[in-house]
Amino acid sequence: MTRKESGNVPDQMQRQHALASFLNGNSVPDSGTSGMRLEVRPHYGYLNLRGDPDDERFLQAVQQKLGHSLPGVPNTFTSADHTVFWLGPDEWLLSTALGREKEIAGQLAKNLAGHCYSLVDVTGGQLLIRLSGEHVRGVLAKGCTLDLHPRIFKVGQCAQTTLAKTSMLIALIDDTPTFDIVLRRSFAEYAARWLQHSTRI
């Protein structure tokens, strides 16, 4: 077999987020009509970091670069320059402005040289949707088994769970309420359609 030279591959592939075409052809829920606003926020880069939470040197090496410590309390997140979500006892998701993740990954790798760790750029695999408004909890309750009552799920908490059978990371940002949900790219349109459908009265 010989490799065929292809003359028509564009030099620069157009990078689109997973809901670009969905947003073109659909009206997304907003607070006026459905009591819930849906906002696609594709402008984040993501790094998945794993390491030993009991290793002080590991924690310090990370903190030195990020400017704040990794959340040690399960199912919480911390925000400063970047946002860091607790995913597991030795696993975190860092989100930052799209494009910055490469520089952060490079410097983290430098700081962590000699440690046992894993650092993976997962930017291409995630999409964040922001849901806000008075009806968000009611809409989510249709497809999420987590108890999102304000007495139970508070600002600063996050959780990996499911939304209508697809995996999501959900975080409560403020008491509006505003929830950020991070979805797998390949399931983003499915989830968006489900959310759109579920806001219908």
Partner 1 sequence: MLLINCPWCGPRDESEFGYGGEADIARPANPDALTDEEWADYLFMRKNPRGLHREQWVHEHGCRRWFVLERDTVTYEITDAT
Please report, as ranges, the residues that interact with partner 1 according to CB under 8 A: 74-75, 87-89, 91, 145-146, 159-162, 167
Q: What does the DSSP 8-state code read for residue 157?
A: B
C-beta closer to partner 1: residue 28 or 183: 183
C-beta closer to partner 1: residue 48 or 79: 48
Q: What does the DSSP 8-state code read for residue 90?
A: T
Minimal distance in Å, beta carbon 110 to partner 1? 28
Minimal distance in Å, beta carbon 88 to partner 1? 4
C-beta closer to partner 1: residue 26 or 162: 162
Q: At what angle do helices 56-66 and 101-111 cross, to 10 degrees?
A: 150
Name the nearest CA neighbour of 48 among 174, 160, 180: 160
Return the exposure string of 150-179: e unless at least 16 CB atoms fall within 10 Å of the residue's CB, then b: eeebeebbbbbeebbeeebbbbbbeeebbb
Q: Tell me which residue has tokens 């990078």.
A: 15
Minimal distance in Å, beta carbon 35 to partner 1? 25
Minimal distance in Å, beta carbon 112 to partner 1? 22
C-beta closer to partner 1: residue 161 or 178: 161
